[in-house]
Structure 1
Amino acid sequence: MSCDEETRDAVETAARLARTEPVRSLEPLFGELPDDPGAPGVEMRACLLGELTLVGARAGESLDAYAERLLELGHPLGRLPDRRLDVEHRFMVRVRGLGPVKTSQQLRCRFPEMPPSVTGAAAARSAVGVPDDTRVRAAAGPFTAGGWARTPEVRFFALPEPLDPGDFGMSFLERLRLDCLRGDGSGVACATTVDDVLDELFRAAYHGGINGHGQGGPYARLFAWDALYALMGLPGRVPFLEAVRRTADHRWVRFVASTPWFHHDTADLGLAVLDPSRTRVAVLAATDTDVMAPDGSARP
């Protein structure tokens, strides 16, 4: 779910305070611990804690005590790491000249391309789809919350035999049953890292889509982590640092293709993940282009 209007007001107020006020002037806001997560002012304070965490400015016993109470009360932001993790170093950082990847050429310029693989193509033919609506919703969360123009495609597959990581490229992906790669058109798949993947998930929610709203730093962070856990197939009880440790055993790929699904004019994103057993694959494809049918209605 995306933030409702009341929560969005709290998000915007918290972001403004985090940008303009020193932490020492904000500490009195956390002097009284809440008993109800729905009480007035609690949502804004939860968002403010999240904003201060993202800018590396959260400190003080009163802030830590308030965060602990949010966790006890089951507030969704309360379970996030209380310090910014190294893997989150790209969050809210803009690099001049590095906008969204819109073309195969841009993807090749930024990431190492996976070579063609006859073995990978053969392995894909034996892949079996594994439906999981809960994981689908979580993986798509940053995009649906941010209001991207089109519902992302999220699919999970199982392989009868382990796939060599060197075969986990476009030759493999284009032979899976994926709507985003259906039709004539070439594609490119490149190796990437988990910090790049996590940042793309964060940005999808933080900036929002052409038909939606940005969700603010704390909730964008929450949506990004939930999506990453879903792509990795991790239960929510796994601690964040343990999840980060496990990312090294996964293989991460970005892809884009010249198929009708991708449009190359706003934001397109293709992600694929191979798990440590080399027999489980997750794929997520998202586009923020609002394509219209000839009769003026939105295409599916």
Structure 2
Amino acid sequence: MSHNHLTPGDDASDHSLWERCEPAELKQLAEQRPEVLYGAVEQLCRRVSGGGPDGAAAARTVGRIAVTLAETRSRECAALAADIVGRLRPVGYQLLPVGDRLLRSVAARLAKAQQLRDLEPLFGELPDGIESPAVELRACLLGELALIGSGLGRRPLDAYAERLRELGHPLAQLPRERVDLEHRFTVRVRGLGPIKTSQQLRSRFPEIPPTDSGTDAGRGAGETGDDTRATAAGRPFTASGWAREPEARFFTLPSPLGPDDFGISFLKELPLDCLTGEGGRRGSALACATTPDDVLNELFSAAYNGGVSGQGQGGAYARLYAWGSLYALMGLPAGLPLLEAVRRSADYRWLRFMAFTDWFHRDTADVAFAVLDPGRTRVAVLAATDTDIDADMARS
């Protein structure tokens, strides 16, 4: 496709033309004539309904153009990309979560590709509310910048972030730079993929030996139901489309658990679905000591990368969901300052555990954690699997 003859007026509403355009051609247009791409989006948004095949095709085209502009370094391209996802959408394109995914994707690309001086004009006007896509884009952009340690100390960005805090935007409750507990976010270490075998778990974390007193203590534990807390704990997995609903359960003990008894012998006595039954794969259940930063990173990664049947939530919201889950596991009130939660996390005991039951499949991704409070009388358990159980059974 040659772009030389195109103007915002001719063929701009033909989404099939733009769908056939190669990425390199879109990139060249963004660098040389970004107004052509923006004009195409304007006409598509005016003429195409969001429903049906035409609307879906138009949405894909709008997304391709917005992402291309966001990744092209220039003040004009940054402004046009922000305007597309913040204001221009095909009629009916407010059908979320498609719009959310595009908005969060554009925010991440702006943070990565653009220079701060070219992003500052996006924050020139302070919002009166948090409902509009334009405000949501900027909130996500601030969140993405925080993850890469950028934007703090820039007056327009600082003022916008403060207004978001005043208006109660959920992302505004997070610090605008990483805390130490988040040091592993988005960091990939070669050779450290999902843990699927007991050998892998033992090689990375110290195993907690089983004890008879742990077994006795587990039998005396009572469950404390809390749907709100369970929902928050499982949010990184449910929001990103992991294949199965996570299990989040909470228990209390009549007396403090012994220092050496928080291990697999204790957990196996709890009425947990994930530890019920004998799976088709051979192996013994085991538990290993871990740290809050390891747990937090797994929660972030689950939401950031998305499940096999879902979508990643973008860095800003993955961070929010990870912290919400960690707060729920520790039983902390939502209003507690994050740095205070970091301080308190060191006083909890943290376990990773695995089992070879019908619940876990070890095909794609499985995680399981248990958390013991400083008083050693409250336990939280969270387990998640990204294996499609029904599909797996159909194959067997």
TM-score, normalised to structure 1's length? 0.95
1:73 counterpart letter in structure 2: L
For 2:224, the equivalent position in structure 1 comes to 130
Q: Is 2:180 aligned against 1:82?
A: no
CA distance in 1, matches of 2:192, 2:103: 30
CA distance in 2, matches of 1:296, 1:102: 21
**Contact kept? 1:156, 1:283, Cα under 8 Å:** yes
Deviation at 1:32, TM superposition (A): 1.0
Deviation at 1:165, TM superposition (A): 3.1
For 2:191, the equivalent position in structure 1 comes to 97
CA distance in 2, matches of 1:100, 1:13: 28
Deviation at 1:31, TM superposition (A): 1.2
Q: Where does 1:38-187 land on structure 2 (aligned, <5 Å)? A: 38-59=131-152, 60-184=154-278, 186-187=284-285
CA distance in 1, matches of 2:226, 2:182: 27
CA distance in 2, matches of 1:148, 1:231: 19
Deviation at 1:116, TM superposition (A): 1.4
**Contact kept? 2:253, 2:378, Cα under 8 Å:** yes
Q: For 1:203-228, what per-residue CA distance to the aligned partner results, in whole angstroms no more than 9, with x for missing partners? A: 11000101100000000000000000
For 2:360, the equivalent position in structure 1 comes to 262
Q: How much is the aligned-residue C-alpha RMSD, in angstroms? A: 1.5
Identity %: 65
Deviation at 1:293, TM superposition (A): 6.8
Deviation at 1:280, TM superposition (A): 0.2
Q: For 1:67-109, what per-residue CA distance to the aligned partner results, in whole angstroms no more than 9, with x for missing partners? A: 1111111111111112210100011111111011112111111
**Contact kept? 1:186, 1:259, Cα under 8 Å:** no
CA distance in 2, matches of 1:5, 1:231: 30
CA distance in 1, matches of 2:268, 2:213: 13
For 1:278, the equivalent position in structure 2 comes to 376
**Contact kept? 2:211, 2:261, Cα under 8 Å:** yes
1:255 is paired with a residue of what secondary structure? strand
Q: For 1:7-31, what per-residue CA distance to the aligned partner results, in whole angstroms no more than 9, with x for missing partners? A: 2221011111111111121111111
CA distance in 2, matches of 1:123, 1:190: 18
CA distance in 2, matches of 1:20, 1:103: 39
Q: Answer with 1 or 2: which has the greater Rg.
A: 2
Change (3 A) 1:162 1:35: same
CA distance in 1, matches of 2:124, 2:392: 59
1:165 is paired with a residue of what secondary structure? coil
1:39 counterpart letter in structure 2: S
For 1:246, the equivalent position in structure 2 comes to 344
For 1:213, the equivalent position in structure 2 comes to 311
Unaligned runs of 5+ in 1: none
Which 4+ runs in 1 deviate beyond 4 A? 293-297
Deviation at 1:58, TM superposition (A): 1.9
1:19 counterpart letter in structure 2: K
Unaligned runs of 5+ in 2: 1-95
Of Structure 1 and Structure 2, which has the larger fraction of its residues in helix?
2
CA distance in 1, matches of 2:211, 2:237: 31
CA distance in 1, matches of 2:277, 2:295: 26
1:136 counterpart letter in structure 2: A
Greater relative contact order structure (CA < 8 Å, 6+ sep):
1
1:282 is paired with a residue of what secondary structure? strand
CA distance in 2, matches of 1:295, 1:122: 35
Deviation at 1:40, TM superposition (A): 4.2
Deviation at 1:5, TM superposition (A): 2.1
CA distance in 1, matches of 2:381, 2:133: 40
Q: For 1:31-57, what per-residue CA distance to the aligned partner results, in whole angstroms no more than 9, with x for missing partners? A: 111112123411111111001000011
Q: Is 2:329 aligned against 1:231?
A: yes
**Contact kept? 2:150, 2:177, Cα under 8 Å:** no
1:49 counterpart letter in structure 2: L
Q: For 1:167-196, what per-residue CA distance to the aligned partner results, in whole angstroms no more than 9, with x for missing partners? A: 101111111110100123620100000000
TM-score, normalised to structure 2's length? 0.73
**Contact kept? 2:256, 2:375, Cα under 8 Å:** yes
**Contact kept? 1:53, 1:84, Cα under 8 Å:** yes
Q: For 1:267-295, what per-residue CA distance to the aligned partner results, in whole angstroms no more than 9, with x for missing partners? A: 01010000011000000010000011799
Change (3 A) 1:273 1:5: same
CA distance in 2, matches of 1:256, 1:245: 28
Deviation at 1:246, TM superposition (A): 0.5
1:62 is paired with a residue of what secondary structure? helix
CA distance in 2, matches of 1:46, 1:5: 18
